Amino acid sequence: MYRSEKRHEARTAARRFEETLSAENRKRLGQFFTGIPLGKILAHIALTADSRTVLDPMAGHGDLLDAAAEAARERGFALNRLDGIEIDQSTAAFCRDRLARTADLAAGAVTVLAGSAFDPAMIGRMPADGYDLAITNPPYVRYQAGGGPAVAARRGLAAIVDQRIPKDERAIWQALVRGYSGLADLSVPSWLLAASMVRPGGTLALVVPATWRSRNYGDVIRYFMLKCFSMRCIVEDTQPGWFSDALVRTHLIIATRLSPQEAAVPLRRRPDAEPAPWLSISPAAADPNSLVGAAFGGKLPEEQLAAFVAGGARNFPPGIGVTAFDSHVEYAALKAKVQQRSWYQELEGDSRDLPLFAAPHASEVAPLPEAVRDLAGGLPLAPLRPLEDTAMHVGQGLRTGCNRFFYVDAVGTDSAGMIRARTSAAFGGREFSVPFDALRPVLRKQAELPMVEERRVPPGRVLDLRRWCLPEDSAAVTEARQTYRRQGEPVPAIMPDEFAAFVREAAQVAPAGEGGKLTPELSAVRTNVRAHRSGSATPRFWYMLPDFMPRHLPAAFVPRIIDGAPWVERNLDDPILIDANFSTFWSSDPLWTGFALKALLNSTWCRLLMEAIGTPMGGGALKLEAAHLRLLPMPRFTDDERRALDEVGRILVREGDTIARADEIVMTALSQGARPKGLASAMAERGERLRDMRRRRAA
C-alpha cells in the first residue's frame, strides 16, 4: 500500500476513533482534536531547517504529530525524534499505532507515553536538553472542573520547572507558576508545561482559545510570552471558524524561546523588536483539501504560507489578512493591567523605572487596541486613561447562586401590602402571596431590554428576604435584637404562613444539574449563612441575599453577550436590579449621571473600542466582560462636556441620529479640540467591519 493511502486510512480511522469517545470524557479531559488541515498550517509555519526533535505533550490521537511529520517530509526536513504524551490510555495506544503507520521515521524514532504530562517522573523520561519544537493543543478544562487535578497540575509543574529550567532563569518560571490564577482553565499550566520542553532557540507552537489575551487569568501568559519568548507569528480564524462547536475563536501561536540571558533582561530594558505578523484566515482562503488551498493553489499551499510568513510578506493572497503584533504595544497594554500584581513586581523590579517600551503616543497611559490605532495615527490625541482610572466604575450584575429560587414573576396584586408571585418551573411554577417589600424588580435577560428602553418595569422580581425570617429562625433573630439595633438594621419579621411554606419546601429541592445538592447547600447559596456575632454581625440565613452593591443597581448596563452592535442602556429612574447577564456601570462623580454614561458609552468611539477589545465568540457574538470594559481608553472630559453628554443622553435612543451629538463631544475631547473631519464616520465603518468579521455568515 502506498504511503499516502496508509495516511488516508489512518486519518479516517482517527475520525472514527473520535466518534467512539464519550462526550463526558472528552469534556473532562479537554479532548477537542485539532484536525490535519489546521495542524498542517501550524506545523509548516513552526518547522525550521534545524528542527530534528518534536514533542506534543498533550498528543490526543496524534493529529499534530502526524501533521508535523508530514510537513517535515514535504519541506525536506529530516526529523529524528517524534514524541508524544497522552493522559488517556486508549487514546495514547491509538496515537502510537497511528504514527507507526504514518510518520515514516526510523524504528524507535517515535515514542508515545501514556500518563499525565504534569507527572515529573514522566517528564524525566524525556530529553533533558529540550526539543526543537513543542507543538500542542492544550486541553481547555474549566477551573470549576479542576479540583484535585488543578492542584496536582500546579504542583507537578513546579517540580518540572525545577527539573528542567536553568538556574539563572528558574525564578521567572516559578513566580509565574505560583502566580497564575486559581480561576484559570487547564490550558494555562499546559501552556507553561509545553514551553518548558522547548530548548532555547527552539519553537513553541500552540492551538489556543482567543481568550488568552482577554481574560484576566491570561495576563500571566501574555507576560510570559513577552518575557521568555519572541513571537514569530499569530494566526486566527474568522467566521465560521475552524472549530464549529467552540464557543470562542481560535489562535495559533508560534514563538521562539529566548536564552536564559535574554529572558533575564527586564521588559522595560529590552531593545526594539520587529512586530510579528498576525494573520486572519477566512473561509474564502480554503479549498476542499486545505484551509489555505484557494489562497495559494498548488500542491503545498501550507508551505507557501510558511514562506510568506518567514519572508516578512505584508501582501497576502485574498482570504488572508495581515496586521502586526507589536511587543512594545503589548507590553504597554499589559503593564497597565498587571503592574500591581505581586508576580509582576517581583520579576520587573522597581516600578518607578520608566519603561523603554512606549505606547504609540508618549502621553498615553491606556494604549489603543491594534484595530483602532491606525485611525488615530497623526492626531494630536489627548492623554488616555483606562476607564477604571476615572470616576466611572464597571462590574457585573447580580448573581444569586440559584436564580431558580430567588427569581420569581410578579403576576398580580393581592391584599394590601401583598403581591402574587409565580416561581420557576424548577420549584413547581406555583403561585403564592409575598409581602411587597420582599420583592425587588430585576432585569434578567436581553429579551426584557426593550421594556427598560421604553422605561417600563420588567415582570421579574428578586426575593429579597433580608427583612423576613422563617418562624423557626425567629428565636435567633430575637436573641440578636441588640445587635440589629447597634448595626442600624431592621429586625426581620416572621414570614406569612403561605410564603414560609414555600421557602421550607424549596429547601428540600435539589435543582436539576446541581449534582443532587439541596438549594441551601449550593456553593453560592450556602455562603449567605452568617452566624450571629454579638455587637458586630447580625445572623443571616440561606434564603437571605447579601446586601446589594452599586454594581447590582447600576446607572447603566450592557449585555455581556451581544449579537449585533453594542448598546448601553440607562437604568430606570427608580433603579432596578440588573442580572449578571449584563456588565454594569456607575460613578462616584455626580456629573457622570446615568444619562451622561449612556451618551458616552454609546458614542462611536466607545462602541468601536468594545468591538476591538471584546472577545468574539464561536457563533459570531461578542462577549463584553467587566475586565474588558475597565480598560476602555478614555480622554479627560471637562465639566461642561459631561453636562453636555447628560443632555444628549436624555434624548438618545437606539435608532435615532442623536449619536452624532455624542460623537461631537467625544471627538472634541479625544482630539483636544481639533475635531478632525470624517473621523467618526471612519470609526463607525471600522466598527461595522469588526462586527462583520465576528458574525457567523450564512452558508
CATH 3.40.190.10 is the classification of domain 3-358: no
Is residue 355 classed as helix, strand or coil in its secondary structure?
A: coil
pLDDT tens figures, 206-245: 999 888 887 777 899 999 999 999 999 999 887 666 665 5
Whole-number Å distance between alpha carbons of 677 and 666: 13
Sorted by where each begins, the domain ranges of the chain are 3-358, 403-528, 556-694
As to burial, measured by CB atoms within 10 angstroms (0-12 exposed, 13-18 middle, 19+ buried), residue 501 is middle
pLDDT digits (tens, 9 = 90+) for 261-280: 999 999 988 887 888 999 98
* 698 pLDDT tier (thresholds 50, 70, 90): very low
Collapsing DSSP states into helix, strand and coil, what is residue 549? Answer: coil
- 3-class secondary-structure state, position 101: helix
Q: Cα–Cα–Cα angle for 636, 601, 393, nearest 5°?
A: 70
Quote the cell numbers at residue 231.
Answer: 513571537
> Using one digit for the tens of pLDDT, what is the confidence trace for 420-477?
999 999 898 999 999 999 999 999 999 999 999 999 999 999 999 999 999 999 999 9
Q: How far apart are CA 197 and CA 202, in angstroms?
A: 9
Q: Residue with C-alpha cell 496515537?
A: 95
Q: What are all long-range contacts of 161-165, with beta carbons under 8 Å and residues at least 24 apart?
A: 161/196, 163/120, 163/123, 163/124, 164/123, 164/128, 164/130, 164/196, 164/197, 165/196
- Is-contact 591 642, C-beta < 8 A? yes
Contacts of residue 59, defined as CB under 8 A and 6 or more positions apart, other chains included, come to: 65, 84, 85, 86, 92, 95, 112, 136
For cell 530548548, what's the residue? Answer: 199
Is residue 365 very low, low, confident or very high in pLDDT (cuts 50, 70, 90)?
low
Question: Is residue 351 helix, strand or coil?
Answer: coil
**Which among 309, 326, 511, 342 is positioned nearest to 424, based on CA atoms?**
511
Express each pLDDT in 180-196 by its tens digit. 988 778 889 999 999 99
Q: Could you report the per-residue pLDDT of 668-689, keeping only the tens digit for each? A: 999 887 777 888 899 999 999 8
Q: How far apart are CA 225 and CA 192, in angstroms?
A: 10
